Amino acid sequence: MNTIYADMTEGIDRKLMQKAGDILLSGGLVAFPTETVYGLGGNALDAEASRKIYAAKGRPSDNPLIVHIAEFDALEQIVTKVPQEARDLADAFWPGPMTMILNKNDSVPASTTGGLGTVAIRMPDNEIAAEMIRAGGGYIAAPSANTSGRPSPTTAQHVKDDLDGKIDMIIDGGPVGIGVESTIIDLTEKIPMILRPGYINMEMLRGVLGEVRMDPGLHFNDPNFHPKAPGMKYRHYAPKAPLTIVEGPQDRVVEKIRSLTAQKESAGGKVGIIATDESAAAYDRGIVKSIGTRTEEITISMHLYGILRDFDDLGVDVIYSEAFDTPRMGQAIMNRLIKAAGHQVIRVFSAGGMDVKHYDKLIFVSESDTITSPMAEAILSRHFLLEDILILSKGLVVLFPEPINPKAEAVLVSQGLTMKDHMSDPLDEADFDDRTLILTITNAEKERLLQDFANPINVFSLSEYIRGEGEVHDPYGGSLGDYGQCFRELDAQVERLAGILQREELN
């Protein structure tokens, strides 16, 4: 197939836009720019067009597509009901980098939604995209326009590299502005749930919706936990060379990457380094690329996928990257980077200028120390490999010692675990020392702890420490089923924690 290349970097070309519309209306495929990444568009209401998209990308067809619209009113035609939350979100963030999941009606073919009864919808904030959607009938299914398993495309050249000859047209609108895919928010859940983090972050969504949660399935490494967005389970965004992220205090990160690079190079390896404008000059070996500046985080998200592609082209043997926990988009950026790294993360610490090998003691902290923290203690204690760490649980508000909550105990027993003679115990100022790691179960508990104590050190929330994305929900007052759910959430997080603690010992 001859792929038409339509240059619209200087503005929309009416004739070519008409042509794009004709291609889409007759079931063909057109790649186009959006504000997030380039999309591969086909008529969303045409089952055959969706099948072509899967074929061109080499993508599993159980992975549903996002339907792109250009007018809010288009929404009503494809869903069973437009809830008030959807109107509020659209008012706040559309057109923009946010995708909503709603219940679909019969006009959307099963091949577009991978057989699901729900549909993902987004109105992109890009003039070329909006015009093309209108010209193509108003409903354009579009995954990122890359070959499945490669980093998403952020320039038309990336699209060409992957799909030239396999699709009808590529519209070039210049490099994208955001660089990571849209935030996906599921409105079919009782509490709206983020299925994929993006530019529109949790705080912004909470500002509109009130309560919002992160899909607990985004926790990695646990075969019992599946992310709700089918696409999040695949090994995405993988560069050809193994990628390792190094995180910790900046000077220690640079030092660690320098020594890893020296080691690898002296063994004859070709090393790629992902640095920033601030740090690039600190590396004297390896192929160093700056991803952007830490003072403007969008420059980092914008170049993330491109830099991974660059290293593919350079044929490096390994890639080392700094971590980018930027304030607004850190979650979205690190979600993609960690996936690209297949979860290879090395942590370095600042204690006395040397890596801390391991802690002697770990204390899980919850508010009352009767439910979540003793459960976490029981779960982690099952990992015999950690037997040289003393594992305890304590509480922030413990007026008198109490046994573990009976429902929490019942759930533990059903999982073959017990809490022999556990009594709640108050956290004490003397608990903070160099060799003790303190993990609160939730972020709110961490904030409270930091307020209540004079000299807290080594304090993290559990999800922060494991780089998870969800929070464990306190089941207090709920049914046994809620306690079971809490156990599964904790189990997923603690599983990851165990892996990290073991890695730290080995580093």
Tokens of 276: 């920033």
The type of residue at 150 is R
313 three-class SS: helix
Neighbouring-strand partners of residue 230: none
271 close to 372: Cβ distance less than 8 angstroms: no
> Does 34 participate in binding Mg ion (rule CB under 5 A)?
no
Q: Which residues contact 396 (CB under 8 A, 6 or more apart)?
A: 365, 366, 367, 368, 426, 427, 445, 448, 449, 452
Taking CB under 6 A as the criterion, which residues in 123-162 touch ligand TXA?
124, 142-144
Q: Which does 467 bind (CB under 5 to 8 A by kind): Mg ion, ligand TXA, none?
A: none
How many residues of this chain interact with ligand TXA, rule: CB under 6 A? 30
> Does 66 participate in binding ligand TXA (rule CB under 6 A)?
yes
Q: Which residues contact 298 (CB under 8 A, 6 or more apart)?
A: 177, 178, 179, 292, 329
> Does 144 participate in binding Mg ion (rule CB under 5 A)?
yes
Quick one: 35 or 504, whose CB is closer to ligand TXA? 35
Figure out which of the listed residues 3, 43, 50, 99 binds ligand TXA, where binding follows CB under 6 A. Answer: 99
Strand order in the sheet with 436-440: 390-395, 361-366, 436-440, 459-461
> Does 175 participate in binding ligand TXA (rule CB under 6 A)?
no
Tokens of 143: 């995954």
> Does 154 participate in binding Mg ion (rule CB under 5 A)?
no
Between the alpha carbon of residue 425 and those of residues 4, 377, 392, the distances in Å are: 69, 13, 10
Quick one: 182 or 372, whose CB is closer to ligand TXA? 182
Q: Which range touches Mg ion (CB under 5 A), out of 4-12, 144-152, 331-339, 485-493?
A: 144-152
Nearest residue to Mg ion, by Cβ distance, number only = 144
> Does 232 participate in binding ligand TXA (rule CB under 6 A)?
yes
Distance of CA 421 to the CA centre of its chain: 39
Nearest residue to ligand TXA, by Cβ distance, number only = 231
Question: Residue 66 is inside which H or E element, if any?
Answer: strand 66-68
Figure out which of the listed residues 43, 50, 111, 113 binds ligand TXA, where binding follows CB under 6 A. Answer: 113
Angle between helix 480-506 and helix 372-381 axes, rounded to 10 deg: 50
Quick one: 142 or 194, whose CB is closer to ligand TXA? 142
Q: Which does 99 bind (CB under 5 to 8 A by kind): Mg ion, ligand TXA, none?
A: ligand TXA
Figure out which of the listed residues 3, 118, 326, 368 binds ligand TXA, where binding follows CB under 6 A. Answer: 118
Taking CB under 6 A as the criterion, which residues in 17-46 touch ligand TXA?
34, 36-37, 39
Q: What is the DSSP string of 442-492?
A: SHHHHHHHHHH-SS--SEEEHHHHTT----PPP-TTS-HHHHHHHHHHHHH
Q: Which does 36 bind (CB under 5 to 8 A by kind): ligand TXA, Mg ion, none?
A: ligand TXA
174 three-class SS: coil
Q: Which range touches Mg ion (CB under 5 A), out of 100-108, 137-145, 194-202, 294-302?
A: 137-145
Separation between Cα atoms, residue 383 and residue 88, nearest integer Å: 46
Quick one: 51 or 258, whose CB is closer to ligand TXA? 51
Q: Which range touches Mg ion (CB under 5 A), out of 21-29, 142-150, 460-468, 486-494?
A: 142-150
Per CB under 6 A, residues contacting ligand TXA are 34, 36-37, 39, 63-66, 99, 101, 113, 116, 118-120, 122, 124, 142-144, 181-182, 184, 195-196, 228-232
